[in-house]
Amino acid sequence: MNINICSSRGKSISIEVRKSGELLVRAPKWMPRSEIDKYIESKSEWIEKTMEAVRLREEKEGVIQYFTETELNHLVRLAKRTIPQRVAYYAPIVGVDYNRITIRKQQTRWGSCTGSGNLNFNALLLMAPPEVLDSVVVHELCHRLQMNHSKAFYKEVYRVFPDYDRCDKWLKENGKKLLLRLPQAGENNECR
């Protein structure tokens, strides 16, 4: 087992099992290695179970081919050109305006909208079918009308994008596989 120990400013110790099967241990700077080793030993049962769960998930999902930093940067550049065009197309149809558009490499979200009208989108949307990207754009723009997921909100979504359910289903069935291809934060770095 590959164990990577990082010094932290915190007062407690934590263990994280990475996608790669590596064990990342964050420990206070003042903590001696012997105490860190004792802590790791005390958590050995949890570590084994978690590593097995990671192994089984990767086996079930197939071999995960992580995006390289170059691939991700290319995807972000492409998303910065493509997504604002889709937002500009749908905003007048929804009947809203918006402020800034940010493209991110997010581990969990496809999009979000702030109360001030800033829109955030995951660059990985470019790996989905174009209509799925459009469904997320419409979803976030409709939050400019309703900052919730009420019936009124979905009424607006379906008004603009009647095929929303099919696209949402595609994301639920396939999106996790895309998100798993993102290296975890700090995966390529010793500590973060």
Tell me if 54 sits within 8 A of 21, measured CB to CB. yes
Neighbour tally for 29: CB within 10 Å? 9
* pTM (two decimals): 0.66
Chain segment 68-115, per-residue pLDDT in tens: 888 888 999 999 999 999 999 999 999 999 999 999 988 889 999 999
- Nearest Cα neighbor of 160 from 182, 143, 176, 181 is 143
Ranked by mean pLDDT, which of 35-39, 65-69, 132-136, 176-180 comes out on top? 132-136
pLDDT > 70? residue 189? no
Beta bridge partners of 14: 26
pLDDT value at residue 186: 45
Residue 17 has what DSSP assignment?
Answer: E
pLDDT class for 3, splitting at 50, 70, 90?
A: confident
Chain segment 148-168, per-residue pLDDT in tens: 999 999 999 999 999 999 999
Burial of 34 (0-12, 13-18, 19+ CB in 10 A): exposed
Residue 171 has what DSSP assignment?
Answer: H
Chain segment 12-35, per-residue pLDDT in tens: 898 888 766 678 888 898 989 999
Q: Alpha-carbon distance 84 to 33, whole Å? A: 50
Chain segment 120-150, per-residue pLDDT in tens: 999 999 999 999 999 999 999 999 999 999 9
Task: Dig out the tokens for 180 from the structure.
Answer: 């798993």
Which domains are present in the chain? 3-61 (no CATH), 69-180 (3.30.2010.10)
